[in-house]
Structure formats: structure tokens, C-alpha cells
């Protein structure tokens, strides 16, 4: 009897152990024969298997060990290249109630282009954005993870609808209180009417509260002042460019004094002065100062190229125009009409300026400034389409002088690091969220290969090439 009891217990234990082993190896998704693009090192890790459960990478091993894993779904990557989900670090969801549904309908365009996280740089759709974020997280809506500023902060009678007006320094605490109550992810400051003292007061108060700040900057303030006060991200290159002039202080003083008269110095007049006095060595010293202060910049090169050529380019046959709602397309008219009124001299100056802007990007990279890729896609920004425009931005960065690896970092690990989310996103590693894009070819050889998307994995869902095309087909007007 004792021998029989021992054998029964032994067999029972063995069966239970076998079941436990089977359960342990029963995973949601396995990717085999994949080449992982290590964006941090700028190299490719060949022949890898990824094990994914509940949207998180559980294991990465050599493909030869793949047989020990079982999964509900197995994908043979066949030597294709895996990159982290892309980040578009500057978009806009805006246009008010009239354009709410059209903005919502654009969200799948990001996923179709491998963009799994976007940074909404201020608008007038914040209550809707909160709802969309919840729906995306619940798998009820196809769209990217959204990091948002909510309403912009600006001065009296601001240009953009939905902005919070801050006319005096005394009003700054209440404005930031309102943003904190909304639960926004960062503070976006705009410069249409805001005064220099209010701008700096917002930055300082937000810094004291532990709130990240980003924005345009009035030319009555220097970027050095703003960074010293705690500004984290500067949008576009105008403000970094201003700091490349050895005459910045005197030009700033003239601009400040002009606001006490009936004829304040205009933005483009100031740009002309700065262009004439720009100095590469001065700029390089300032970029080193930016890097030391851990200040980031979003260059937005692609939108400048598009908008500065509106007077001559025909976009009527653009493939992506088919995905844009009539209401959003109508907002394009404002910039188109403005472009048609520009003089030949103005057009030439902006082309020269943008050529100069391209030289800033590799100089900033060399100085150690954190560069964040952003498209500025959204209503009112004519023909800068959600999703695909981020890829165009990466191409512009490489044309400016970055390597494909450096450009790829601006749309992956840099955003995650700067937003304090490297524990979850930005690289393909064990323990990271499985925001993944499977590419047909190696993007480190040619940055345009980021557009050769085979599969996107996001939110625990797998979007094959066929499903991505179906998403696009459903969006066509």
C-alpha cells in the first residue's frame, strides 16, 4: 500500500508540474525570426524571438529557443525589422465642437503609420480628448496614446480658440490651478499676445509646482531667460535661432521698447535682424547651454517646407487628402490665402531661413540637445497630414544632417525619456510595453524605410498589413 501511495503521489505531482509548465509557456503572442532595431545603440539584433503577454514584452531570446514557448498567436517575422512604436511629439487636436468628430476620425491614421504615442500641443477639444484616451485604453477606439496640454495659455484676446487668457502675473496661479484640475500632462504657452513677464511667471510657477512647460516664446524674452526659469521644451526653431545672434540682447531690448509705442517691431522684422546677425559659434555655445539645462526642442522642419511652398504646390492629388474631413480641409484656406499674398522677397527670405534652420539640427545634436520629432499635424496646418507627416519629418532631419539612427531616436526613445516614461516605452526591451512596428526593411540604412510598415502591435492588438489598409479604406471620404 505504501508503494502504491508513493507512486500515486509521484504521478500526481508530475502531472501538476507538467500542467504548470504548459501554463507558464502559454502566451498571448510570439514573434519569431525578428531583427530588433536597438534605437539606443543604433544597431540591429538579429534572429530574435519576442514573447508578449497582456501587451508587455515578457522575454526576448534567440529564435532557436522559440520552440519552448506556446502562444495563442505566433508571427514569423521572416527577418523583418522591429522598432518601438513611433512618437509624434507635436500635433494638434482642435477646431471646436464643429470639428470634434473629424478630429476623432483622424486618430486611426496614426496607428496606420506606426505612430503609437502623440503629444497634443494644445487646443480646444480637451474634454473630448479625455474621452478618446479612455476609449483607446479600453480598446473601443483605434488611435494612439495621447499626451496632452489641454488648453493653451496665452495673453488677452488670443489667436487660438479655447486658450486660457493670462493678462497679468497675478492671474498666473489661477490659470495653472485650472490646468492641474483638468489633469493635463504639461503646460503649453503660446505667444500671440502674451507679455514677456507673464510668460516667465508661468514658467517659474509651473516649475515650482513640478509641471512641465513647453511653448512658443514672445521675442520680448530670450530663450536663455526662459530656460533659466525652467522652460522644458521649445517648439519650433525660431527661438533657438534667436539665441544664435550675438546681438540678441540688443534686439530684444529694441523689441521690448517698441511695445511702448504705436508701432511694435513685428515678428518677421525681428527675424530679418536675427538672420543678418546669426553666428554659428554663438549658436553652438548656446546649444551647449541648452543641453546642460536638459532643454528639448521640436524642430518641425516638414511643416515649414509645406507651408512655405503653398503658393506654388498643388496638393489636390495628395493621397492623404482623401482621409481629411471637409471641415478640417476648409481650415486650410487661412494659410493658403496668406501664402498667396506673400511677396517674392518674403518667399525667398523664408526659404533662406529654413535652409539656415536645417543647419541648426545637426549642431544641436552635436551639442547634446534633446531633439524631439514632431509634425505639427492638425486642423489649420494645411496639408500636414496625421501619421505620414512624422515620417516626412524624419526624412527632413536626415536631409539636415542627422544619421538615420539619430533621427529614429527623436521619434522613439527621446520622447519617452523626456516625458519620464522610459520604464514603459521608447525601446524594444523585456518589461517594456509592446508598442511595436514591424518594418519590411532596415531603417538604419534608409530612414524612409519607417514607411514600409508590415505590422503594428499596440494596446494588445495586432494590426497586420491587411488590417492597416482596411483602416485606411474605412477613413476615406
- Grid cell 492641474 is found at 180
- The per-residue pLDDT for 10 is 39
Instruction: Provide the β-strand partners of residue 131.
Output: none
- The per-residue pLDDT for 477 is 67
Q: What is the mean pLDDT of residues 298-307?
A: 97
Confidence of residue 4 (pLDDT cuts 50, 70, 90): very low
Residue 11 has pLDDT above 70, yes or no: no
Confidence of residue 71 (pLDDT cuts 50, 70, 90): confident
Confidence of residue 7 (pLDDT cuts 50, 70, 90): very low
Other CB atoms within 10 A of residue 62 CB: 11
Question: What are phi and psi for residue 167, nearest 5 degrees?
Answer: -90, -30
- The per-residue pLDDT for 69 is 82
Taking the C-alpha atoms of residue 474 and residue 124, their distance in angstroms, rounded to an integer, is 26
Class of residue 263 by CB neighbours under 10 A (exposed 0-12, middle 13-18, buried 19+)? exposed
Of 5-9, 231-235, 387-391, 394-398, minimum mean pLDDT range: 5-9
Taking the C-alpha atoms of residue 280 and residue 289, their distance in angstroms, rounded to an integer, is 14
Q: What is the mean pLDDT of residues 338-345?
A: 92
- The per-residue pLDDT for 406 is 98
Q: What is the pLDDT of residues 310-337, one digit of tens each?
A: 999 999 999 999 999 999 999 999 999 9
Question: What are phi and psi for residue 60, nearest 5 degrees?
Answer: -130, 120
- Rg of the Cα atoms in the chain: 25
Class of residue 44 by CB neighbours under 10 A (exposed 0-12, middle 13-18, buried 19+)? middle
- The per-residue pLDDT for 65 is 67
How confident is the prediction for the chain on average, in pLDDT? 93
pTM over 0.85: yes
Class of residue 381 by CB neighbours under 10 A (exposed 0-12, middle 13-18, buried 19+)? buried
Residue 333 in contact with residue 255, Cβ under 8 Å? no
Residue 309 has pLDDT above 60, yes or no: yes
Q: What is the pLDDT of residues 17-56, one digit of tens each?
A: 343 334 456 899 999 999 999 999 999 999 999 999 999 9
Amino acid at each position: 500500500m505504501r508503494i502504491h501511495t508513493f507512486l500515486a503521489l509521484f504521478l500526481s505531482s508530475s502531472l501538476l508540474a507538467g500542467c504548470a509548465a504548459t501554463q507558464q509557456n502559454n502566451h498571448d503572442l510570439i514573434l519569431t525570426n525578428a531583427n530588433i532595431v536597438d534605437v539606443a545603440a543604433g544597431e540591429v539584433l538579429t534572429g530574435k524571438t519576442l514573447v508578449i503577454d497582456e501587451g508587455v514584452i515578457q522575454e526576448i531570446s534567440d529564435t532557436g529557443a522559440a520552440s519552448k514557448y506556446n502562444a495563442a498567436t505566433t508571427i514569423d517575422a521572416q527577418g523583418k525589422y522591429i522598432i518601438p512604436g513611433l512618437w509624434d511629439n507635436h500635433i494638434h487636436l482642435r477646431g471646436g465642437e464643429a470639428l470634434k468628430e473629424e478630429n476623432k476620425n483622424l486618430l486611426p491614421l496614426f496607428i496606420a503609420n506606426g505612430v503609437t504615442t502623440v503629444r497634443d500641443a494644445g487646443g480646444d477639444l480637451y474634454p473630448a480628448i479625455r474621452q478618446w484616451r479612455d476609449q483607446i485604453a479600453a480598446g473601443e477606439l483605434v488611435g494612439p496614446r495621447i499626451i496632452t496640454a489641454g488648453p493653451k495659455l496665452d495673453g488677452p484676446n488670443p489667436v487660438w480658440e479655447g486658450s486660457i487668457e493670462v493678462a497679468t502675473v497675478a492671474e498666473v496661479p489661477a490659470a495653472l490651478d485650472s490646468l492641474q484640475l483638468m489633469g493635463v500632462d504639461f503646460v503649453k504657452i503660446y505667444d500671440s499676445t502674451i507679455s514677456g513677464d507673464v510668460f516667465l511667471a508661468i514658467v517659474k510657477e509651473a516649475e515650482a509646482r513640478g509641471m512641465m512647460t513647453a511653448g512658443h516664446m514672445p521675442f520680448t524674452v530670450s530663450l536663455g531667460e526662459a530656460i533659466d526659469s525652467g522652460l522644458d521644451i521649445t517648439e519650433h526653431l525660431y527661438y533657438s535661432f534667436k539665441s544664435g545672434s550675438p546681438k540678441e540682447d540688443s534686439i530684444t531690448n529694441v523689441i521690448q521698447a517698441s511695445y511702448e509705442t504705436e508701432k511694435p517691431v513685428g515678428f518677421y522684422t525681428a527675424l530679418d535682424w536675427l538672420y543678418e546677425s546669426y553666428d554659428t559659434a554663438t549658436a553652438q555655445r548656446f546649444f551647449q547651454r541648452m543641453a546642460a539645462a536638459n532643454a528639448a526642442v521640436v524642430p518641425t522642419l516638414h511643416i515649414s517646407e509645406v507651408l512655405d511652398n503653398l503658393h506654388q504646390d498643388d496638393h489636390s492629388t495628395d493621397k492623404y487628402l482623401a482621409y481629411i474631413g471637409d471641415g478640417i480641409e476648409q481650415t486650410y484656406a487661412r494659410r493658403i490665402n496668406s501664402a498667396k499674398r506673400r511677396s517674392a522677397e518674403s518667399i525667398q527670405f523664408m526659404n533662406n531661413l529654413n535652409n539656415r534652420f536645417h543647419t541648426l539640427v545637426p549642431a544641436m545634436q552635436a551639442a547634446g540637445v534633446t531633439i524631439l520629432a514632431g509634425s505639427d499635424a492638425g486642423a489649420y496646418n494645411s496639408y500636414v497630414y496625421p501619421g505620414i507627416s512624422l515620417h516626412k519629418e524624419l526624412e527632413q532631419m536626415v536631409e539636415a544632417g542627422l544619421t538615420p539612427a539619430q533621427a529614429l531616436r527623436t521619434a522613439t526613445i527621446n520622447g519617452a525619456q523626456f516625458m519620464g516614461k522610459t520604464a514603459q516605452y521608447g525601446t524594444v526591451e523585456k518589461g517594456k510595453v509592446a508598442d511595436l512596428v514591424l518594418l519590411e526593411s532596415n531603417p538604419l540604412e534608409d530612414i524612409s524605410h519607417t514607411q514600409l510598415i508590415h505590422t503594428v502591435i499596440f494596446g494588445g492588438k495586432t494590426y497586420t498589413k491587411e488590417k492597416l489598409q482596411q483602416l485606411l479604406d474605412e477613413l476615406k471620404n
